[in-house]
Amino acid sequence: MKRIHLLLIVTLCFITQNIEAQDLLDGLKQVADMHNEEHGNDSNNNQDLSEEEQRQAEEFWKEKTKDAMDFINGIDKPYHQCLALMGLYSYHFLKLSVAAEEEEDCKMKYDWYGTMLLMNISGTFLLPCTEGFYNLPEEDQISIFHDFLNSLYQCNFSGDPLVWTPLAKKAPKIAKDIHIGFDQPFCSNDEGANYYSLKKVYYLLFEWEAVVANTLAIGKKMEALGCGG
């Protein structure tokens, strides 16, 4: 499971239209193999899986990576791409946090926190797009975020509150992960109604002060466990 998150981290940091999908997948696998080799059995990565189960897991990941790449590359507005990456990053950081807090085995918990630490630091690769977005006037941020949400779903106040757009239906899991990553913004025709969700994600994950604070907080949790190394 941690291997999947490590692959996702690299994908989110380096996803681009200028990289061939297979080249990226090969690079991701190499990074993961290097990580596994460095940490050996202590990492508990896939050590309980049969060869067939590992093959199935890798095939599953390749398909998920392809969906994410196709989805991001299918967005034709740069700031929308940036927002999509922010939402995906937020979603998976939250998943890691929950996994770390719920884990009972000390070494596994330590590993989860270590992966969170890596993801937190790797998130700085997204800073050029996030800082560029937040240097825009606030009214532009509000308008762009509202437009981005509308590219994923439309409001339907007479029935299901969310009607997913053709873009979202191309990769429904990715679209829903982005929605959850932004704290599930509610359906509204008011452009500014969900701006708080966007600011919350930015100030908790992407602002430099947040990156430093998260690094220190995660490091303290790892040290307090007393089972690392």
| Residue 43's pLDDT band (cuts 50, 70, 90) | very low
As a residue count, the chain comes to 229
- Per mean pLDDT, which of 8-17, 56-65, 220-229 is the most reliable? 220-229
The per-residue pLDDT for 83 is 92
| Residue 216 in this model has a pLDDT that exceeds 90 | yes
| Residue 35's pLDDT band (cuts 50, 70, 90) | very low
pLDDT in tens, 1-22: 444 455 455 455 444 333 333 4
Q: How far apart are alpha carbons 168 and 71 in whole angstroms? A: 8
Closest CA to 178 of 201, 209, 208: 201
* Percentage of the chain modeled with pLDDT above 90: 16
Mean pLDDT computed over 58-81: 74
| Mean of the per-residue pLDDT values of the chain | 75
Which of 31-35, 78-82, 222-226 has the lowest average pLDDT? 31-35
The per-residue pLDDT for 12 is 52
Q: Residue 179: which H helix or E strand, with range? A: helix 172-181
Closest CA to 91 of 180, 197, 163, 157: 180
The per-residue pLDDT for 15 is 45
The per-residue pLDDT for 147 is 92
The per-residue pLDDT for 92 is 84
pLDDT in tens, 164-203: 889 898 888 888 889 999 988 777 777 788 888 899 999 9
The per-residue pLDDT for 55 is 60
CB atoms within 10 A of CB 159: 6
Mean pLDDT computed over 45-68: 57
CB atoms within 10 A of CB 37: 9
Question: Who wins on pLDDT, 229 or 177?
Answer: 177
CB atoms within 10 A of CB 125: 15
pLDDT in tens, 90-135: 988 888 888 889 888 898 888 888 888 888 887 777 888 888 898 9
Question: Who wins on pLDDT, 209 or 3?
Answer: 209
Give me the DSSP letters along 11-54: HHHH--TTS-HHHHHHHHHHHHHHHHHHHGGGG-SSTTS-HHHH
The per-residue pLDDT for 37 is 52
| Residue 41's pLDDT band (cuts 50, 70, 90) | very low
